[in-house]
A and B are shown apart, each in its own frame.
Chain A
Amino acid sequence: MCGTLDLSALPLDCITLIISFTSPRDACRLSPVSTAFNSATESDAVWESFLPSQYQALIPSSLSFSSKKQLYLSLCENPLLIEAGRKSFWMERGSGKKCYMLSPRDLTIICSVDTPWYWRWVSIPEARFDEVAELRLVCWFEIRGRISVSMLSPMTYYKAYLVYRVRNIYGFQFYPAQLSVGVVGTEGSRRAAYLEPERDRIPIDRQPIPNDVQFPKARVDGWLEVEMGEFFNEGCVDDGELEMSALEIQGGNEKGGLILQGIEIRAITPN
């Protein structure tokens, strides 16, 4: 549709409304179009529309920002601790969709309560949370996390990841972990992954390894992750809770040597 009319001839309110119907990424791509567009795309009105509702409650009062755009970018680049440090929150930069990481204290980890012989709580500088869970030894590996679907952005495709690192990992090379993501009471999506990062350690009798069994991938922040499953949030009225679980209970053998940072739920969005 080739036009003869200059878009920047519309009133600023209308331009702001139009831009707010695109996405944060599109808004930034509009800045170089013309100087008039730049003032529209830099405006607080546009970036306010990309912020989540009740965002004011999330920002620590000690921080101030020169513009709503800076605030938006900060919420994307610097995850915030919420719920007394139990969760970490940020937004996916291109789309503004909400993402979370559940700390180990927010998860149900079997055999982690009361005794430090199986799992114990440690503080390490590279972690996002004050405390992370170190697995020393279990036979029954089970981790579950839940998040209310209403905390997620509507009409968004999400994936969940188990985020951890290894320190003298052992016992995870015999069976892949069974991972799943789904709304409580529904089928959900499933994945299988070896938590053991070294392919060579997988015994010969388990090979060839099926294509759909993953291995952990390295993350930018230095931790490892395995995909637990996917979920498309329609954002309907009946919300419910999303449950993510990781189990390795097939092999009754002893396993240990990993440090769990948490479960990450992040938005997967188009470019």
Chain B
Amino acid sequence: MGSTSTKIKLRTSDQKVFEVEKAVAVQSQTIKYIYENGCPDSVIHVHSVSGDILSKILDYCKKHVNSAAGKEDISPEELYEWDANFVKVDQNTLFDLILAANCLKIESLLDLTCQTVANMIKGKRPEEIRTTFNIKNDYTIEAEEAVRRENKWAFDMLGGVGTMVIEELADDTMSKCVTNTKSRVCVIAANQIVMMRSISKLANKKSIDVYKQPQNPTTPRIKESVKQRNVGTGFIELFFHFKCKM
């Protein structure tokens, strides 16, 4: 009985049963613990995870196990592009993934999903964050004022090197930014196609290095040449000098 074909059965909150290879299932430290300390043949209940979410999570685990074991020929760059696409889901699903990754103790998935939410927060004002996540403001006016005053420095916008997390960018906006550019490293979050046309304009300026920021913070950055057309999804970081109003 080869250990490569050991399967573990998982039952979700909505009574769906999944039969998974052990190597994939034990990506979850919780499942690993239960399996190693319980009866190997019994079904493990994952009470807090629904069938849909578990299915997605198992896709993730399988992809990562296969890539690490060399079963799949996938470069680190391709893997984190896969990861970037994996988290392109609606907010409800994203939160369910966070809860499940937390509960199942799958560290890399938790990092990936939390980093995705973090990217939605970065650079935003409090009002924008409330809108994005539908958060109710439960401060009194005076209390909110006091908190803002305490953290005043974080709201002051300085001139100098700035970053714009650019969600959607028209070509002419990008070229306006470029005329002030002294630096070479880029961060742009974006609609891929818009960015590609814009980046090709940058290619005519001074040399520009484009670094892809991975969704998973532990993955090393990969430097792209501007001339390549398939930069891919996800963020690309941009530093440039400009003054702007907050």
Q: Which residues of A come within 8 Å of B, CB atoms?
A: 1-11, 13-14, 17-19, 21-26, 28-38, 93-94, 155, 157, 230, 232, 234, 268-271
Contacts and interface: CB of A to CB of B under 8 A. Distances in A.
B147 interface: yes
A10 B120 CA distance: 16
A93 B187 CA distance: 20
B135 A37 contact: yes
A32 B102 contact: no
A11 B99 contact: yes
Contacts of A1: 90-91, 120, 132
Contacts of B125: 29
B147 A157 contact: no
A58 to B, nearest CB: 22
B130 A34 contact: yes
13 contacts: A1-B120, A1-B132, A2-B91, A2-B134, A5-B92, A26-B122, A28-B151, A29-B151, A31-B151, A33-B126, A34-B139, A234-B221, A268-B160
A212 B125 CA distance: 37
A132 B143 CA distance: 47
Contacts of A269: 161
B155 to A, nearest CB: 7
Contacts of B185: 157, 232
Bin chain B's interface residue count: 35 or more
Interface string B120-164: 111111100111111111110001100110110111011011110
B183 interface: yes
A31 B152 CA distance: 11
Given A14-B102, A270-B161, A271-B157, A29 B118 contact: no
A157 B183 contact: yes
Minimum-distance CB pairs A-B, first 7:
A270-B163, A3-B91, A21-B118, A28-B154, A28-B151, A7-B133, A32-B126
Contacts of A93: 153
A32 B139 contact: yes
Nearest to B93: A5
A32 B135 contact: no
B95 interface: yes
Interface stretch (B26-34, B109-117, B200-208): B109-117
B239 interface: yes
A242 to B, nearest CB: 17
Given A29-B124, A29-B151, A157-B183, A22 B135 contact: no
B195 interface: no
B122 A23 contact: yes
Contact of B117 (A18, A23, A38, A232): A18
B124 A6 contact: no
A94 B137 CA distance: 25
Contacts of A14: 98-99, 102, 110, 114
